Structures are given as C-alpha cells and as structure tokens.
C-alpha cells in the first residue's frame, strides 16, 4: 500500500521524508542518561541543542519505561507540563510529542501545545484515542505483547512476532481512525524490546518492510536499547554504532520516524540513507568537477 504524507502541528512530511524525534526524559532515573534532563533548565538546554542538530520532533516523557518508584499522574504532569509550555513558546515550528499512556496527562499536555501522543503501552488507557481526536493530535499505536505499563517481558513467546505486532498495531490504528484521529497523524511502532526478547527485536528489524507494507507509517525506537546491547555485548554507553546500523536498515526498509538519543549522529545517518536512495542531493558535490 502506498505511503501517505504525515502531518503534525505545523509540519507536513512527504512519503520520502525522514522525521527525527529527539528524546528528552524528565525523569531522575531514565535508563540511558540517569536524569541528565530531569532539571528544567537542563531539559531546555538539551531541547535547543536537539533542534540545532536537526530534530524535527521532541519526545518528552515523565515516567521511566521500566521498573521503578510509582509516578502518579500529578507527578507526571509536574515533570512535563512546564517543559511542554516552554518548548511550544521557544520553537513554534517544532513538533512536540508526549510519551504517556494516561489520557488525563495527554489531555493537559495537548492543551499546552503538544502535537503527538506517543503511547508506548498499546492502548492501556482506552480514552487516549478520544483525547488525540479532540485535540487534532497525532497518535502512536504500539505493541507491548499484552504487558501493562512499566513491566518487562519474561520468557515471552510468539508463533510469529511480526504477525502479532502487525495484528496489534493495525488494529489500534483502525480503532483510532474510527474514533476520529486524523489518518495523516497515526503512526505504528513495533516497539522494540517492549514485550520482546533480543531475537524478537532483531527479527522485527529484519522484517520491518512487512509493517511498512500495511500502508501505515512506521516509527522505530531502537536508540541504545537492550537488544542492541545484547547483540553486540555492549553496555548502554557503547551502543551507538549498533543503534545507527539498526536505524539505517530501518530507514532503508521504509520507516518514517526515528526516536533517538544521539540526534546529530542519527540526522547524518538518515541524510546519508536518503541520499543513497536518491531522495536528497549531496550537501556538496564538487569531487571530480574541478
């Protein structure tokens, strides 16, 4: 099925455009940066750096994905609302994504200017689609293997992980569309590592074209994840080469949106893939012409 344009906030992306989503965690215990952007000033500094490095979208989350202390909705909003409001003021053209599974949190943050709801827990809160529809916001439809928020997989098994993912995310996308979410604002995410072991995440990357063939635009979030670390036997601080390899392959196979910690490196990787594909001219082309 042919790909369609994507629209979030004031931005539209053609089918051949790659959109880069920078990660900013307003948590004291995030797995990768251990709270480096928990403080508002630090988060805003990272925001400005990400935009300067080529980010099209910034994804802000107030709750660690994995196990940890309970964070209620009030605390999640305390961590994220001031950032969303300031980000909207500083960067009017920037797409602001909110990483939450809670409809109440999403409703408040969309009213402050968020354009996209990144629901990494596969519709755990069924009211989330109504919030996206009411605000005209986009929505990420994900796959967590039936797990609830902030739980890790244990001996998870699938007859065919790709088929299971496709069935789940396309079903959620269809429900979102029926609930009034804009078609050009819906993304599907195979959700690497969530409800999956390393072999599952590798297979999803290898067969990503099958998700692309559904016609729904695909978001991938592979940045520094455990499947990269286990595949290469590298800790979280030494996973960038594996992350960029996974990113390049995902881009080549048709993914549209890329969630990343390392913005500048990921932007260069996506630009190189786009140029090899013939969708982006070289920034400079004078070799052999002088």
Whether 1 shows a pLDDT value over 80: the answer reads no
Average pLDDT, integer, range 71-78: 96
Contacts of 39 (CB under 8 A, 6+ apart): none
What is the pLDDT averaged over residues 206-212? 98
C-beta separation of 181 from 132 below 8 A: yes
Residue 290 reports pLDDT greater than 80: no
Average pLDDT over residues 174-203: 97
State the pairing for strand pair 6-8/11-13: antiparallel
Q: Residue 47 falls within a domain, yes or no?
A: yes
**Does residue 1 sit within a domain?**
no
How far apart are alpha carbons 11 and 6 in whole angstroms? 8
Domain assignment present for residue 184? The answer is yes
Q: Which contiguous run of DSSP H or E holds residue 134?
A: helix 128-135
The per-residue pLDDT for 168 is 98
Q: What is the rounded average pLDDT of the residues 89-97?
A: 97
Q: What is the mean pLDDT of residues 17-31?
A: 94
Over 80: is that where the pLDDT of 128 sits? Answer: yes
Q: So what's the pLDDT on residue 29?
A: 86
- As a whole number, mean pLDDT of residues 100-127 equals 97
Answer whether residue 287 is part of any domain.
no
pLDDT at 109 over 90: yes
Residue 32, number of CB atoms within 10 A of its CB: 15
Give the CA-trace dihedral at 149, 153, 64, 207, to 10 degrees: -100
The confidence score (pLDDT) of residue 66 equals 85
Higher model confidence: residue 151 or residue 16?
16
Would residue 8 count as lying in a domain? Answer: no
The total number of structural domains that make up the chain: 1
**Structural contact between residues 45 and 57, judged by C-beta atoms closer than 8 angstroms:** no
Indicate which CATH number applies to the domain containing 175. 3.20.20.20
Tell me the pTM.
0.96
In a domain, 284, yes or no: no
268 within some domain: yes
Domain that holds residue 178: 13-277
Query: What integer is the mean pLDDT of 215-236?
Result: 98
Whether 288 maps to a domain, the answer reads no
């Amino acid at each position: 099925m042919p790909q369609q344009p994507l629209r979030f906030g004031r931005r539209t992306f053609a089918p051949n455009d790659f959109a880069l989503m920078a990660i900013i965690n307003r948590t004291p215990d995030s797995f990768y940066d251990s709270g480096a952007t928990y403080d508002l000033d630090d988060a805003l500094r990272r925001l400005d750096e990400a935009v300067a490095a080529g980010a099209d979208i910034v994804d802000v989350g107030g709750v660690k994905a994995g196990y940890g202390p309970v964070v209620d909705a009030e605390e999640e909003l305390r961590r994220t609302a001031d950032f969303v409001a300031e980000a909207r003021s500083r960067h009017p053209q920037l797409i602001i994504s909110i990483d939450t599974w809670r409809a109440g949190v999403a409703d408040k943050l969309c009213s402050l200017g968020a354009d996209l709801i990144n629901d990494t827990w596969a519709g755990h809160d069924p009211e989330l689609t109504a919030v996206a529809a009411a605000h005209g916001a986009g929505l990420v439809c994900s796959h967590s293997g039936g797990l609830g928020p902030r739980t890790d997989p244990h001996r998870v098994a699938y007859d065919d992980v790709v088929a299971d993912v496709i069935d789940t995310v396309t079903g959620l996308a269809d429900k979102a569309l029926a609930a009034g979410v804009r078609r050009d604002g819906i993304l599907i995410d195979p959700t690497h590592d969530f409800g999956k072991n390393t072999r599952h995440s590798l297979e999803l990357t290898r067969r990503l074209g099958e998700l692309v063939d559904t016609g729904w635009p695909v978001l991938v979030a592979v940045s520094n994840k455990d499947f990269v670390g286990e595949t290469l036997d590298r800790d979280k601080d030494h996973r960038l080469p594996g992350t960029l390899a996974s990113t390049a392959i995902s881009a080549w196979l048709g993914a549209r949106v890329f969630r990343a910690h390392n913005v500048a490196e990921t932007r260069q990787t996506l630009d190189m893939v786009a140029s090899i594909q013939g969708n982006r001219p070289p920034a400079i082309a004078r070799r052999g012409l002088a």
